[in-house]
Structure formats: structure tokens, C-alpha cells
Amino acid sequence: MGWATQYIAKLQAGERVSFRPRGHSMKPKINSGQLCTLEPVDEHGSLSVGDIVLCKVRGNQFLHLIKAIQGDRFQIGNNRGHVNGWIGPNSIYGKLVEVRD
């Protein structure tokens, strides 16, 4: 069980979630402790390069960027140059819609 397991479950149930992630990998887009609100990803909804998503890459949970898209694969990484890897749409649970202090 990871830090985002409870939020992923709510997103999968169709709920909107808000939480305050900690860390610096997404600065300045998200600063540590800011309130982030995410909505579930619609199966037919569009995801674009630059979207911030709650996802799972090789068993690890991240609130990171979509860096590239190839067909139905998404490359996930942080805002500091690191790439986590490629995932399918079933590993993306929510899309960031708001950031507040």
C-alpha cells in the first residue's frame, strides 16, 4: 500500500479527491504541501502531454507529468527532468484540476 492508495480507490469509484502531497519533484508546478484536487480520468477523456496525473509506474505511485504519448502509452516523469517510465491508460487514475495553497 502506497501513499496514494486511498485516493486511487476514491478516484476509481468516480469521486473527486483533494490532498496535500509532500516533496519537491514537481516544483514549481506543485510546491510541497499545496492542496491538489484531482478528478477521475474518463476512459474516453483526453490526456495530453503536460497534464499532471496520479498514476502507478512499476508499482510506485506518483503525482507526475505526462511527458510523452505514443499511441496508448504514456511516459511519466517529474518536473525536474527525471523519467519514471511508460504506462498504459489503466495505470492513470486521476488528473490534476486545481492547485491551491
Judge contact between 19 and 75, C-beta under 8 A: no
Dist. CA 64–CA 45, nearest whole Å: 18
Domain carrying residue 88:
5-100
The segments of the chain whose pLDDT lies below 50 read none
pLDDT of residue 26: 98
The tally of domains found in the chain comes to 1
Place of cell 504519448: 69
pLDDT of residue 42: 79
Strand 83-87 relative to strand 52-57, pairing:
unpaired
pLDDT of residue 59: 96
* One-letter identity of residue 29: K
Which pTM was predicted?
0.95
Dist. CA 99–CA 11, nearest whole Å: 17
Judge contact between 67 and 49, C-beta under 8 A: yes
Beta bridge partners of 76: 66, 85
CATH number at residue 60: 2.10.109.10
